Amino acid sequence: MNESNREANDLKIAVDAMGGDNAPKVIVEGVMMAAKEFKDMEFILYGKEESIRKYLTDETNITIVHTDEKIASDDDPVRAVRRKKNASMVLAAQAVKDKKADALFSAGNTGALLTAGLLVIGRIKGIDRPGLLVSLPVIGTDNGAFNLMDVGANADTKPENIHQYAVLGSYYAQFVRGVKNPKVGLLNNGTEENKGNDVTKRAYQLLANNADINFIGNVEARELLSGAADVVVTDGFTGNAVLKTIEGTAMSMMKLIKNAVYDNGTKAKLGGLLLKDSFSNMKDVMDYSTHGGAVLFGVKAPVVKTHGSTEKEAVYHTIKQIHEMLDSHVIDDLVHYFEEKESSAE
């Protein structure tokens, strides 16, 4: 890449080019898609140069940092990050820590990415446990979405963690998605205040007493896709189960529709042909990858993970999400917020 292009860019993204089932092919293709649209971004691809160059047809705003080492999907996360110092993911995280890049993107080992975010990049001061935040579709709206946090970073969560997720999620919804005064709901097994276990009951009180967030109370899982809240907070175990259930239900629904069309004779097939575009639109609505990846929220820079079996379009959408995060300066605002909270508590 020529130096004139590099100097013109403001935002630098460190990309783990070897992470994911279809790497580096879909990673490189997705990055090239994003590079064509976002002229203010530079992409630093960490990975095996020979493999990356097989798919790199346009090097505009793209550089490669060669390494032969990578973290596999079945590697132990903490051990891998600590021992594989030259792994593509670790080098990308180190670049963010050293201010050589503004954000980290990977489709690789989720546990390792969480570890790299925490151990290499580091937490925002005042954040106890960063969590994973995703954007999911709201059915019946044009590109509507809500944020769910935590979806797997912390299985065992304290009430104070859930309280912090509400603040983090509110900032994301307001400054990245542009939602004014976002409604925050606590995922629970009923809407009444006294529902849930000890953790959710104590979390409810913390949320209700925080004037900085627009807390609307408990929400049930069946209300999520109807847009009951703009931000829904829960522990990582429950959040991950909800996320996987939504994924599985969406795939099962499409399979049921397909079987209903193909297994019920000529009339059904003709009807399916007439409704082909509608079915395609429905599939797009349920595909939450169009809203971006999962954000490790609460660390000092954007760390974003997309699905291991991702395709180039999902890579593009995740980079678009990173661009929105950097453009909004949401991390800087969060650092300022929690610094003020820390100072007032002293």
d(CA 113, CA 115): 5
Model pLDDT, residue 166 = 97
Per-residue pLDDT, averaged over 135-155, amounts to 87
| 40 in the same domain as 73 | yes
Q: Are 187 and 261 found together in one domain?
A: yes
Query: Is the same domain home to 291 and 165?
Result: yes
Question: Do 79 and 156 lie in a common domain?
Answer: no
Asked whether residue 5 carries a pLDDT value surpassing 50, the answer given is no
Dihedrals φ, ψ of 229, to 5°? -150, 155
DSSP line for 166-210? HHHHHHIIIIIS--SS-EEEEE-SSSSTT-S-HHHHHHHHHHHT-
The token pair that represents 119 in the structure block: 């151990």
Q: What are the tens digits of pLDDT across the range 29-82?
A: 999 999 999 999 999 999 999 999 999 999 999 999 999 999 998 999 999 999
Distance CA 101, CA 15 (A): 10
Residues 155 and 284 in one domain: yes
**Other residues' Cβ atoms within 10 Å of the Cβ of residue 252:** 10
Structure tokens given for 84 = 């594989």
* Domain identity same for 91 and 197: no
pLDDT value at 298 more than 80: yes
Q: CB of 62 within 8 A of CB of 45?
A: yes
Per-residue pLDDT band for 252 (boundaries 50, 70, 90) equals confident
User: Residue 289 above 80 pLDDT?
Assistant: no
Domain of 170, CATH number, reads 3.40.718.10
In a domain, 45, yes or no: yes
264 lies in the same domain as 211: yes
Q: Looking at the 3D structure of the chain, how many domains does it have? A: 2
Residue 151 lies in a domain: yes
Q: Choose among 225, 276, 221: nearest CA to 254.
A: 276
Residue span of the structural domain in which 9 resides: 1-127+298-323
Question: Among 41-45, 135-139, 181-185, 255-259, where is mean pLDDT lowest?
Answer: 255-259
Among 78-87, 141-150, 246-255, 305-314, where is mean pLDDT lowest? 246-255
Co-location of 106 and 153 in the same domain: no
Neighbours of 8 (CB within 10 A): 11
Residue 216 lies in a domain: yes
Checking if the pLDDT of 178 tops 50, the result is yes
The CA distance from 340 to 29, in Å, is 42
Q: Which of 2-16, 112-126, 244-258, 325-339 has the lowest mean pLDDT?
A: 2-16
Structure-token match 């605002």, residue found = 333
Residues 138 and 42 in one domain: no
Q: What pLDDT is recorded for position 301? A: 95
Asked if residue 340 belongs to a domain, the reply is: no
Of 5, 7, 8, 11, the C-alpha closest to 329 is 11
Does 120 reside within a domain?
yes
| Same domain assignment for residues 234 and 303 | no
Q: Does residue 102 sit in the same domain as residue 135?
A: no
- Measured between its terminal Cα atoms, the distance across the chain in Å is 49
The answer to whether 71 and 87 are in contact (CB under 8 A) is yes
Do residue 287 and residue 152 come from a single domain? yes
Pairing of strands 294-297, 131-137: antiparallel
Model pLDDT, residue 260: 76
